[in-house]
Amino acid sequence: MIDALLAGIVGPYEFGFMRRALVGCLALSLSAPPLGVFLMLRRMSLMSEAMSHAILPGAAAGFLVAGLSLPAMTLGGLVAGLAVALMAGFVTRQTALKEDASLAAFYLIALAGGVFLVSLRGSQVDLLHILFGSVLALDDPALWLIGGVSTVTLLALALLYRPLVMECVDPLYLRTVSRSGGPVHYAFLALVVMNLVGGFQALGTLLAVGLMLLPAITARFWASDLSGLIPVSMLVSVLASAIGLTVSYNAEIRLPTGPAIVLSAGALYIVSMLIGPRGGLLRRLIRRHHLEA
């Protein structure tokens, strides 16, 4: 029984492609969730969803030029995502439009452009491939890319941490003491785009958002400040990746890997929402005696 269980857990990773998939997901699990924590705290959770659509036209353009080539689609996605992020950031800072509105405008343009480009050549299957990724097909360059994205993200977060927190908490104050608010904001958006592009290798543009946001939101039920939220979100993401990959390999039915990973993160979220010590549902139902002071 235990042997069978162990075989189910360890067995899949005898295959190289599963090990690659695991390494790729673990690297993403270290870099995407901290960004998700900041997005969540800035009430920009849905912004990453919009950004994931913004990547599409670039990926599609790469696909048009070079066919189903990961480097071309990655480069295109990166360029398109950064362009949308920077333009939306610019419009937000220079006009009366708020961030959500300016981003919505640009991502809708980008998404429509992307669908148009994909439809110029290729079938629906190709579009699905771009949208949902293929974690089991990570080759060496793809792994290098994900590892690089993860490394750059963690280094950049370490460098930008203090101004980024200040920009989140009190942007007006940061403006009065420093000019770094704008650059920090753009750098943060760029990191989000990079991680979505990295995740799009493994999970596709739609599900890359899942690994960024679900762990961060889950962490909210377990930790209350940044020093707790960030590690917990990473841990949730690592767990979700491992569970998703293993279950997807062992499942009787054909369970695609990307959705399996995000569904695992979703399951962890629902469990945390119920039993989490910080404002979880069950905690709210039980009324505990109040304190003296």
Residue with tokens 């220079």: 94
Residue with tokens 């009190």: 170
Considering only 69-77, 135-143, 225-233, 247-255, which stretch makes contact with another protein by CB under 8 A?
225-233
Q: Footprint of another protein on residues 130-169 (CB under 8 A)?
A: 159-163, 165-166, 168-169
Q: How many CB atoms lie within 10 A of CB 212?
A: 32
Nearer to another protein, 75 or 229 (CB): 229
DSSP per residue over 267-291, as a string?
HHHHHHHHH-TTT-HHHHHSPPPPP
d(C-alpha 253, C-alpha 1), whole Å: 22
Residue among 95, 123, 224, 250 that touches another protein (CB under 8 A): 224
45 binds another protein (CB under 8 A): no
E strands, the chain, are none
Q: At closest approach, how far in Å is the CB of 90 from another protein? A: 18
Nearer to another protein, 91 or 184 (CB): 184
170 binds another protein (CB under 8 A): yes
d(C-alpha 119, C-alpha 127), whole Å: 8
For the four alpha carbons of 273, 276, 279 and 285, in that order, the dihedral sign comes to positive
Considering only 3-11, 45-53, 64-72, 174-182, which stretch makes contact with another protein by CB under 8 A?
174-182
98 binds another protein (CB under 8 A): no
Residue among 3, 140, 225, 292 that touches another protein (CB under 8 A): 225
Q: What share of the chain is helix, strand, coil (3-state, %, to 5)?
A: 85, 0, 15
The residues that touch another protein, with contacts defined as CB under 8 A, are: 41-42, 159-163, 165-166, 168-178, 180, 224-226, 229
